Chains A and B, each alone.
Chain A
Amino acid sequence: GAVVSQHPSRVICKSGTSVKIECRSLDFQATTMFWYRQFPKQSLMLMATSNEGSKATYEQGVEKDKFLINHASLTLSTLTVTSAHPEDSSFYICSARRADYSPLHFGNGTRLTVT
């Protein structure tokens, strides 16, 4: 089955630093990847849609300068949380799919803690 690898699984950083999270589709090419944020006991909140070779599309209320997304290849998308603050602490999950109407395949998530 399709596998999406997300790294790191857990990261702790100091306020003001930047953190990069990688999302890789291991056995298929993903023209579109998605980044979600999940608060405790809540559903996933779509942050942005990442398209290979073009700029990401951000959801309303998501700061594009704060959450930098790069989709450098058909198998890799990265999310960089810039100048992180404690309120950015959350669980971030990426997902990818082969094509429209195909199921999403999710990474295992990254637990970000900003101290």
Chain B
Amino acid sequence: AQSVTQLDSHVSVSEGTPVLLRCNYSSSYSPSLFWYVQHPNKGLQLLLKYTSAATLVKGINGFEAEFKKSETSFHLTKPSAHMSDAAEYFCVLNGRQGGKLIFGQGTELSVKP
């Protein structure tokens, strides 16, 4: 069975402080994993992707994520939050060729001034 669990439905940080959005996955296959961001009433924008190359993946806007097979995790981090980072974030799993993408439930990130 394949699944994605985003451990926090809502995360609130202050501007300039680090961001950590947690994602755990379950897959019988070698997974591809993605993080997407969604601003209100918009589609999803790809932040970064892991496809079995380097385990530390750098994305856009200063975000990065580390694939840890032993922990079945793919947490998203950013050293310093910006107000414009406030949005909904989705962790997404592609577990096998031709398979459907599995979406996490999303984490809403709030950034306080």
How many of chain B's residues touch chain A, expressed as a range? 20 to 34
Q: Is A67 an interface residue (CB 8 A)?
A: no
Q: Could you say which of B44, B98, B105 contacts A106, with CB atoms under 8 Å apart?
A: B44
Classify the interface of chain A: helix, strand, loop or mixed: strand
Q: Cβ of A46: which chain B residues have Cβ within 8 Å of it?
A: 100-101
Report how far A34 CA is from B103 CA in the complex, Å.
13
Report how far A46 CA is from B90 CA in the complex, Å.
14
Decide: A101 and B106 in contact? CB cutoff 8 A. no
- Stretch of B12-20, B45-53, B69-77 that contacts chain A: B45-53
- The proximity string for A residues 90-101 relative to B, scoring 1 for CB distances below 8 Å and 0 otherwise, is 010101000011
Nearest opposing residue in chain B for A46, CB measure: B100
Q: Is B27 an interface residue (CB 8 A)?
A: no
Q: Cβ of A41: which chain B residues have Cβ within 8 Å of it?
A: 108
Nearest opposing residue in chain B for A45, CB measure: B103
Report how far A6 CA is from B100 CA in the complex, Å.
21
Interface residues of A (CB under 8 A from B): 4, 6, 34, 41-44, 46, 49, 91, 93, 95, 100-101, 103-109, 111
Known A-B contacts: A101-B94, A104-B101. Give 4 more (CB < 8 A). A6-B43, A42-B105, A93-B43, A100-B97
